[in-house]
Amino acid sequence: MNIALILVLIATSAIVFLIRLGGGYASSSQVLDGPVAQIRAVDVEAFRNLMDPGEEQFLRTHLAPAEFRKVQRERLRAAVEYVSCAAQNAAILMRLANAGRHSEDPATAEAAQKLVDNAIRLRLYALHAIPRLYISMLLPGTRISSGRIAERYEQMSRLVVLLGCLQYPTRGVAASL
C-alpha cells in the first residue's frame, strides 16, 4: 500500500514538473516584444560552485552531519532554481531564435538554428537534472553531473551575442543572461 502511494505521488510530481517545465513558452509576440524583461539572470559560476564535488566534500568534512545535510539541501534547492531559470530562458530564446531561422541572411539563419538546437538540449538536460537534484535532496550521498547544463547555457549565451552582432533584434538579451 505504501509503495503504491509513493509511486502515485512520484507520478503526480513528475506530471506537475513536466507541465511546469513546458509552461516556459510564451507567445511569439510576447517574446519578440520584450525578451529582456522576461529573461532571468543565471550566474553560471555560482551554479558550478553549488555543483562542485570538491566544495561538497569540503562542507562534509567541516560541518556536523546534520548541519551538512541542511546546508546541502539548501544548495540543491538553489541549484534547482538556477536550472529552472536556465530552462525558462531557453524557452524564451527558442521563440526568439525561431523567428530568426527564417532570415534571408544565411549567417543569421544558421546562428538562430544553432541557438534553437542548444536551447532544446538545455531544456532536455534540465528535464533530467531537476528530478536528480530532488533525489539528491532525499538521498544526500547521490552525485549528479551538471556540467552539461552550464556548458549549454554558456553556448546559448554566446549564440545570442552572435545573433546580436548579425543585426538580429536581440539587443539587451545577452546582457540579461
> Does residue 10 sit within a domain?
no
Q: For residue 106, which amino acid is it?
A: P
Angle at 149 between CA 145 and CA 152, to 5 degrees: 135
Domain with 135 in it: 42-176
Summarize pLDDT for 56-102 with one digit per residue, the tens: 889 999 999 999 989 999 999 998 998 888 888 888 888 888 877 87
Q: Where are the alpha helices (DSSP H) in the chain?
A: 2-22, 28-33, 35-38, 44-51, 53-62, 65-100, 106-138, 147-165, 173-176
> Does residue 58 sit within a domain?
yes
> Does residue 109 sit within a domain?
yes
Residue 27 reports pLDDT greater than 50? no
> Does residue 17 sit within a domain?
no
pTM more than 0.75: no
**Looking at residue 148, what is its pLDDT?**
66
Mean pLDDT of the 125-144 span: 81
CA distance 35 to 80: 22
Q: Domain total for the chain?
A: 1
> Does residue 172 sit within a domain?
yes
Going by C-alpha positions, the residue among 50, 53, 127, 58 that lies closest to residue 86 is 127
Summarize pLDDT for 51-63 with one digit per residue, the tens: 888 888 899 999 9
> Does residue 13 sit within a domain?
no
> Does residue 28 sit within a domain?
no
Residue 49 reports pLDDT greater than 80? yes
Q: Say which residue the cell 512520484 belongs to.
A: 10
> Does residue 24 sit within a domain?
no
